[in-house]
Structure 1
């Protein structure tokens, strides 16, 4: 206690003792001596009580200091342990990277070797095809000229064969091939020369004989390369020639036959999609459709009838248009697409070159896939004028429910660059060329309803 407080307490005790003496003298009628003793007793009692309260506290216990010292030591040891763990993690990561690096380099070398072997085999097959084409041309030159009527089959007025929903095979002796098995890269089918019937005449014959078929090219996931979807590509099947769509689509469009080809391709793709679903796969089948087909009332009605008849196909078939075509659709064509969307069909935008996309608008129009060439995604000039960097395009589209698919992937070195851009789906010759599908009726002891999808071997399809 401070000195002023001591003086105040002493004065208070003195006044209190005097008050006690006065009360004893006048209130209790005690004598002066008795009242003085009572006052002194009260003063002494108050002094004793005050001294009891202001006695010196006991010295602090040393155990608190010991606890502080132990806590400080434990904290120091924990910091040391954390530092050692961080060092060990860094060393383990460096060792793991050093151990994996030779394996990655060896895998890359093996991939390059397999690619070079495949190219050599494809070049050999192409040379054989050229020799066969030259022999056919020699035979055609040596034979007397004949008009289309002479080369056409005799029953020209016979009814056309009904369209089958199942893909056709080009050769009866091909063994089945499972598309889930890994395969070496392959070159695309080579468009060889055919007997000189004229492309339009050959096309009309193929339509009459139901020889416009679809070949399937896989769309795989990265980096696992598991097959996610297939794209159905139209092919003109002849005796010794398989002509890709680019070789006859312009002629078909000029002749007004493109809608018929698209309709047949979609019906065949629907059959393939049903077989995929029956085998337990969750993938879809992409089918290209031309704007002219969307303007053809008969073709649109036939496609709607197919979707209504087999409602399961609506979620398994994806209609695909090029970006330039998609952006120039008129009201009639958009109304046709809206009718397909109401039945559950999804859309895909192919050959996307302008990366100034509006994902929200595309999602509202039913687009669920956007295909961009890998070369375009990796092109440094693609950043110019774009509202977003190509490396962020996959994430932007994914936030609106749209998957980005890199197409035309032909080299192994492209895959790591696509993974760095968060691209998780790809398509191209590196993962497999388009191949014909084996019909389920040729599977031993199986029913078409439960057939598993099998593709014709690559080397046979390319011959």
Structure 2
């Protein structure tokens, strides 16, 4: 077999050499004929022979190039066809495995219900000095900052010569946020992220919501401007992020395959007081690395400082992954995302259609050939990144996303954000007395 392969490699070379020798022989014969028969001088005959040889050589090279291009094109078509077959087969096998796993889960749930009743969620156990103490320190910092903001506001009112009728006279959006944190009125909402086209839930995205004393949700647009102006947005994000991590641990007691996307602000990564303790907390919980994905906006990622980049690298070293959302420009640097530990990119479905399909924008990568719109997802996966189409509201949008071969989808069509069980929230909440003591309401 080795001799046959060697023969196949040598034969084309020998064939080309023999043909060029034949071209030279024919050209030399014509040159001699021009001298002896045509009566041309030696110089003219020599130039004629050279011209004939060059013409033969150029024709030969052109034919050889065309044949080689045809063989390469045919090979590429065969490879693409085989890849498509493998992709279809992989999807079918994945669907069968998912269906089988679902059936197994149903059987296990039925057996557990009959034998032991409804499953109970156990509270996580930590060693002394572990994560709860770390969280307590962070919450103490948050309460101090919130209290300082309140004192500053009251001092401003007093300096202006205004006497409030009652303490509630100085109430504002930040007061509602402060009270919600102190009274543990923080809820976690989960929205499913499904696998396409099966629509089987693969992940969840966690959204945190605050409530006032009457149980009304405090909308982000109500308190975010004031919080950003007071420099407290990172502290709010921090305590909510810890709550999300604790909920993940609770949910893992029921299903090890659960994965939750948790938003983290770049300012939290750069916070010299918060991040070192948060890193210790995540080091104690590094077994959650496969279940917690930290999410930051595209603009914040692309404009991150060196401090924030190093903080991300430390999280990646622990095994945690990142996701980019709020994408406004699909010309993304994929090698940079891969180096930074980004494994998911969320793009609004309409943005995908407008920029990738209609405008022809492509991510930056090492691939030099023209990339078809249907191959975009494969290019992302080449760098270990999965695409997620978000804000899917209609079935027509699903069809457009499927045409782009996007593996995951998110939107109200697949499920709206829903609050998790109240009992689960209570188990992960710090003691109310701790908040009251820190705020000075209990001596």
TM-score (ref. length: structure 1): 0.51
1:435 CA displacement: 1.6
Match of residue 402, structure 2, among 419, 424, 430: 419
Question: What stretches of structure 2 of length at least 5 have no aligned partner?
Answer: 1-162, 364-370, 429-443
Q: What is residue 318 of structure 1 aligned with on the other side?
A: 293
Deviations 1:278-329 (A, max 9, x none): 2124131111111111111122123212212222223321111111110000
Question: What stretches of structure 1 of length at least 5 have no aligned partner?
Answer: 1-145, 153-195, 449-463
Deviations 1:368-405 (A, max 9, x none): 00000000111167534535554332111111111100
Distance 1:295 1:354 in 2: 25
Match of residue 316, structure 2, among 327, 334, 341: 341
Match of residue 379, structure 2, among 376, 396, 405: 396
Secondary structure of the corresponding residue to residue 429 of structure 1: coil
Contact 2:195-2:409 within 8 A present in 1 as well: yes
Distance 2:293 2:318 in 1: 12
- Please report the RMSD computed on the Cα atoms of aligned residues, expressed in angstroms: 2.7
1:213 CA displacement: 3.0
Match of residue 203, structure 1, among 170, 177, 185: 177
Distance 2:165 2:334 in 1: 51
Specify whether residues 363 and 325 from structure 1 end up closer, same or farther in structure 2 by C-alpha distance, changes over 3 A only. same
Match of residue 336, structure 2, among 361, 370, 374: 361
Distance 1:200 1:363 in 2: 39
Match of residue 219, structure 1, among 193, 202, 208: 193
Q: What is residue 167 of structure 2 aligned with on the other side?
A: 150
Secondary structure of the corresponding residue to residue 352 of structure 1: coil
Secondary structure of the corresponding residue to residue 289 of structure 2: helix
Match of residue 270, structure 2, among 295, 312, 327: 295
Query: Which residues in structure 2 correspond to 1:75-224 (within 5 Å)?
Result: 147=164, 150-151=167-168, 197-224=171-198
Specify whether residues 148 and 247 from structure 1 end up closer, same or farther in structure 2 by C-alpha distance, changes over 3 A only. farther
Secondary structure of the corresponding residue to residue 332 of structure 2: coil
Specify whether residues 439 and 240 from structure 1 end up closer, same or farther in structure 2 by C-alpha distance, changes over 3 A only. closer
Higher relative contact order (CA 8 A, sep 6+): 1
Contact 2:187-2:210 within 8 A present in 1 as well: yes
Match of residue 263, structure 1, among 226, 229, 238: 238
Secondary structure of the corresponding residue to residue 418 of structure 2: coil
Query: Which residues in structure 2 correspond to 1:43-62 (within 5 Å)?
Result: none
Q: What is residue 421 of structure 2 aligned with on the other side?
A: 438
Specify whether residues 404 and 287 from structure 1 end up closer, same or farther in structure 2 by C-alpha distance, changes over 3 A only. same
Specify whether residues 442 and 289 from structure 1 end up closer, same or farther in structure 2 by C-alpha distance, changes over 3 A only. closer
Contact 1:258-1:293 within 8 A present in 2 as well: no
Distance 1:324 1:382 in 2: 23
Aligned residues: 258
Q: What is residue 374 of structure 1 aligned with on the other side?
A: 349
Deviations 1:402-460 (A, max 9, x none): 110001111122112211111121111111111211145699xxx99xxxxxxxxxxxx
Q: Is 1:429 aligned to 2:409, yes or no?
A: no
Deviations 1:319-354 (A, max 9, x none): 111111100001111111111111111000001121
Distance 1:285 1:419 in 2: 23
Distance 2:278 2:373 in 1: 36
Query: Which residues in structure 2 correspond to 1:240-259 (within 5 Å)?
Result: 240-259=215-234
Q: Is 1:309 aligned to 2:326, yes or no?
A: no
Greater gyration radius: 1
Distance 2:376 2:359 in 1: 11
TM-score (ref. length: structure 2): 0.54
Distance 2:308 2:425 in 1: 39
